[in-house]
Amino acid sequence: MNNKQQSQLIACEECGLVSDLPMIEEGQVAKCPRCAHTLSSLSLQPCQKLIAYSIACLVMLVISLSFPFMSFSVKGITQEIYLFNTVAMLDAFEQSALALLLLLTVLALPAAYLVAVSCLYFRIWQKRKKPNAIRVSSKLLRLCKWLFKVEPWLMTDVFLIGVLVSLIKISSMAEIGLGSSFWAFCVYTVLVVKSLSLVDRFWIWNQLTPVVPIEGVVAGQDHLSGSHVDCHQCHQINTVSDTPSGHCLRCGGALHPFDLQQSLQKSWAYLLAAIVFYIPANLYPIMYTVSLGNELPSTIMGGVILLWQLGSYPIAMVIFIASVFIPMAKMLALAWIYWHARRGKSLPYAQAIKRQKLYRLTEFIGRWSMIDIFVVAILVALVQLHNLMAITPGPASLSFAAVVIFTMLSAISFDSRSIWSNGSAVKELELNE
């Protein structure tokens, strides 16, 4: 197997346009000629670079868990925590669901993802050196399917911003000390983000298993032609006549033909669930602060107002934007997109691309609303000085986490191809260095 991708047809997962993707060199990026979505991205020395970054990530994670993360000191009393204490303290306060969410999104899933993707790329590296000697097993293909399902739920970068916000939020109350584990976690977060940017699903599948040749599908067709079904897992284009069982010819995954009504039903259901949880998330306290025996409840907006009164204007704006404005704006934007998608009207190219960009933006920013939950987790673990000063999670924390999760599921389940029609303009295929 050579170091270049084989020329093949690929259907854009965002607008449905079928393009004839030429062989791309290392360091090039191929984008959809209609909506500019990235079809494939091949970095320089993809296997060696990804494996090196992943190993460095795992080393930094071990260091992050092995040493004190930070300390909190007031009136001669000091509280020191390790990173894992953020999980343990939430569980101790009977917030097991939040503890599990934090454990999975910040520690367990990123670590498992890095190990899995390193194994995949190492196997691909071996296969490229000895194409006929290395056999790709079915377990390896199942691992590849799993990788891209968990990718949206890796939130190490969101957690780090939550840590920084919590530091500024309590810096006026006491003296804060940063342990060596904190700095290791900062490096770990940067490396995780970089590793994720190097992973390309299209290239991985092309290296693991060859594309199954098909007939009757040509570049320029899209999801409305009715001639094919694109596999969302391996990007194999399947003709309707060749897949009567409803499973992909290449990876065996279940195929999902374009069905606007089914997509909208799931998306609306998740969105309505998020709206329901949004009400108690804002009405009830997200945490309680105990100071000298007095318990003070704090809602999301209450915390924003308090920070503003204390003069912490940037942090107040960050909390307001991430925890109040973004969830509300995302729910309104998604509802607007779903409402117009239901009408099924053909859109001019300019309107379609604007609506596509709005959808991409709402899908991207949704996870950042989890900042407030991570702030609560840090404060609960750090500020435990008995009756002198302590912070405990409130009932709104679980509701707010549910809002973030359901809005993310709503955006993920929506089929953005419903925004596009056959009449939309098409530009030339774009290849960038």
> Which residues neighbour 378 within 8 Å (Cβ) at sequence distance 6 or greater?
86, 162, 163, 166
Q: Compute the average pLDDT of residues 50-78.
A: 88
Q: What confidence category does residue 423 fall into, taking pLDDT thresholds of 50, 70 and 90? A: very low
What residues contact 308, with CB distance under 8 A and at least 6 apart? 316
CB atoms within 10 A of CB 301: 15
Label residue 267 by pLDDT band (50, 70, 90): very high
Nearest to 369, CA basis, from 402, 416, 336: 402
The residue length of the chain stands at 433
**Amino acid, single-letter form, for residue 403:** V
The Cα 5–Cα 217 span in angstroms is 20
pLDDT of 429 strictly over 60: no
Structure tokens at 85: 């204490």
Residue with the larger pLDDT of the pair 259 and 7: 259
Sheet containing 294-298, strands listed edge to edge, beginning at the edge strand earlier in sequence: 294-298, 287-291, 389-393, 384-385
pLDDT at site 16: 86
Section 385-397 average pLDDT = 78
Can you list the pairs that 40-43 forms with residues at least 24 positions away whose Cβ atoms lie under 8 Å?
40/5, 40/10, 40/200, 40/202, 40/203, 41/200, 41/203, 42/5, 42/200, 42/203, 43/198, 43/200
Angle between helices 156-170 and 371-382 (to 10 degrees): 50
Residue 6 confidence (pLDDT) above 60: no
pTM over 0.75: yes
Beta strand extents in 14-111 (DSSP E only): 18-21, 29-31, 38-41, 70-74, 77-81
Q: What is the mean pLDDT of residues 84-104?
A: 87
Per-domain boundaries in the chain: 8-420
- Rg of the Cα trace of the chain? 24
Q: Where would I find the H helices in 153-299?
A: 156-170, 180-198, 201-208, 260-283
Residue 306 reports pLDDT greater than 80: no
**Looking at the predicted structure, is the pLDDT value of residue 318 above 80?**
no
